[in-house]
Amino acid sequence: MTASEDQNKGMHQKRGKRDFDANRRRWPRFSPADIPSLKGVTSTTGTEIEVVNISRGGALFESHARLAPGTRIMLKIMTTEGVIQIAGQVLRSYISSLKGIPKYQSAVEFEQPLYLLDELSEPIDMTPQPTAMDSGLSEGLPPEVGPSLAKDDSSSQGSSKTILSVSAYELDSAALDEMLRLNEW
């Protein structure tokens, strides 16, 4: 075998290994845009982390903090459903941008598969859902809600289904106005 044939063989083997590595993923990757209910990720140290992609088994993050390979971390994934805490380990970390403050990309493998990701990646259904009044769920509400909020059905008197409990506090008008303003009502 000539030197050039040997060199070509080596290049082919490297290219083949690279192709294999790209296809060895166990789960599909999702971009943040693919997961409408994903709102953000922070580490337990409070460092803001940008999600590059995420799968059941791990994620690729970008942040201003370098995460050393081998470091065990706890992540908080914020969704519209709540906060999910998941433990992981940094597999690799490298600098991704030198503009201004350096940015690092870090690959993290989760200790447990993030099966909730399947549900989060489903498109959000924007069709109007039936209200309690439409679906009959308002039957059996306590009488203090008044006839405008509950159907009058004598067959439901034996059972009481509480859907929403509202407590009214005795506040003067100025205090109530301030409370509503602070809550952006």
Q: Name the pTM for this structure.
A: 0.51
Does residue 171 carry a pLDDT above 60? no
Whether 14 maps to a domain, the answer reads yes
Whether 125 maps to a domain, the answer reads no
Which pLDDT value is given to residue 1? Answer: 52
Among 22-31, 67-76, 141-150, top mean pLDDT goes to 67-76
Whether 71 maps to a domain, the answer reads yes
- What pLDDT band is residue 74 in, cutting at 50, 70 and 90? confident
| Residue 140 and residue 163 in contact, taking contact as beta carbons nearer than 8 Å | no
- Same domain for 65 and 86, yes or no, is yes
Q: Which domain holds residue 166?
A: 132-182
Please give the share of the chain, as a percent, with pLDDT higher than 70.
Answer: 47
How many domains does one find in the chain? Answer: 2
30 phi/psi in degrees, rounded to 5? -120, 140
- Same domain for 115 and 137, yes or no, is no
* Tokens linked to 125: 């259904």
Mean pLDDT, range 124-152, rounded to an integer = 41
Which pLDDT value is given to residue 183? Answer: 53
Which pLDDT value is given to residue 41? Answer: 73
- Same domain for 23 and 106, yes or no, is yes
Per-residue exposure over 146-166, b if at least 16 CB sit within 10 Å of its own CB, e if not: eeeebeeeeebeeeeeeeeee
| Residue 86 and residue 114 in contact, taking contact as beta carbons nearer than 8 Å | yes
- What pLDDT band is residue 109 in, cutting at 50, 70 and 90? very high
Which pLDDT value is given to residue 100? Answer: 87
The 10 Å Cβ neighbour count of residue 122 is 11
- What pLDDT band is residue 93 in, cutting at 50, 70 and 90? very high
- Same domain for 34 and 68, yes or no, is yes
Whether 126 maps to a domain, the answer reads no
Which pLDDT value is given to residue 164? Answer: 32
